[in-house]
């Protein structure tokens, strides 16, 4: 190939290969703290159960627990994780986007459960992907708005009818 002989190292039995890979890459690459945390989050997606202080991956790899927790939020969205890894998007911007997406997913669940009760036809269309949850929710709100307007119009007609009856009664009293 390039005339360079590959070098191999054997790790001791008690050495974690993932930690070794991260530490070697960390030394030879210029990466931000966010990118380092993201790398750890990709290799260790769940928090480790630590038996003794200093033995967690975040402590051994010098990644703050809070930043690692935030990186795990980003890792839920692979497109964001790759953009941070590649330096195309800053960690903080990706975190804000990940949180925004998580909130939207949470809202979508709430909206869908409400639609299942209030407007099953719209819920079904969302489940079948004929509408997005957002579109189904907007249609539901439109229905509610139209129904309220119809009630208001009916109440106005009823009020005007009562007012007309009162005027007729008043005229009858005056002209008796």
**Shared domain check, 92 and 34:** yes
- Average pLDDT over every residue of 133-137: 86
Contacts of 97 (CB under 8 A, 6+ apart): 77, 80, 89
Residue 58 falls inside a structural domain: yes
110-145 b/e (C-beta count within 10 Å ≥ 16 → b): ebbeebeeebeebbebbeeeebebeebbebbeeeee
**Shared domain check, 56 and 29:** yes
**Shared domain check, 21 and 83:** yes
For the cut 60, the answer to whether the pLDDT of residue 168 exceeds it is no
Terminal-to-terminal C-alpha distance of the chain: 116
**Shared domain check, 89 and 29:** yes
**Shared domain check, 122 and 64:** no
Residue 104 falls inside a structural domain: no
Residue 168 falls inside a structural domain: yes
**Shared domain check, 131 and 71:** no
Q: What is the distance between the alpha carbons of residues 141 and 91, in angstroms, rounded to a whole number?
A: 36
- Average pLDDT over every residue of 3-22: 78
Collapsing DSSP states into helix, strand and coil, what is residue 90?
coil
Q: Tell which of 69, 99, 129 closes a domain.
A: 99
- What is the per-residue pLDDT for 46? 77
pTM for this model (two decimals): 0.55
Number of domains in the chain: 2
The domain in which residue 141 lies consists of 115-174
- What is the per-residue pLDDT for 73? 93
Contacts of 92 (CB under 8 A, 6+ apart): 34
**Shared domain check, 92 and 28:** yes
Residue 4 falls inside a structural domain: no
Residue 152 falls inside a structural domain: yes
Residue 6 falls inside a structural domain: no
Q: What is the distance between the alpha carbons of residues 165 and 176, in angstroms, rounded to a whole number?
A: 17
Q: What is the distance between the alpha carbons of residues 47 and 68, in angstroms, rounded to a whole number?
A: 9
89 or 32, higher pLDDT: 89
In order of 9, 25, 93, the CA distances from 97 in angstroms are: 40, 27, 6
**Shared domain check, 137 and 65:** no
């Amino acid at each position: 190939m390039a005339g360079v002989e590959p070098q191999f190292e054997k790790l001791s039995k008690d050495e974690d290969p993932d930690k070794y890979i991260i530490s070697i890459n960390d030394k030879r690459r210029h990466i931000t703290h966010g990118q380092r945390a993201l790398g750890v989050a990709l290799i260790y997606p769940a928090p480790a159960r630590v038996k003794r202080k200093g033995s967690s991956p975040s402590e051994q790899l010098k990644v703050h627990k809070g930043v690692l927790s935030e990186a795990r939020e980003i890792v839920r969205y692979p497109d964001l994780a790759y953009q941070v890894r590649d330096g195309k998007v800053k960690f903080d911007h990706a975190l804000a986007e990940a949180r925004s997406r998580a909130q939207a997913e949470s809202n979508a669940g709430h909206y869908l459960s409400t639609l299942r009760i209030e407007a099953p036809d719209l819920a079904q269309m969302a489940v079948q992907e004929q509408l997005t949850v957002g579109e189904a929710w907007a249609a539901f709100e439109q229905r509610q708005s139209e129904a309220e307007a119809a009630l208001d119009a009916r109440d106005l007609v009823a009020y005007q009818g009562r007012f007309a009856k009162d005027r007729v009664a008043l005229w009858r009293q005056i002209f008796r």
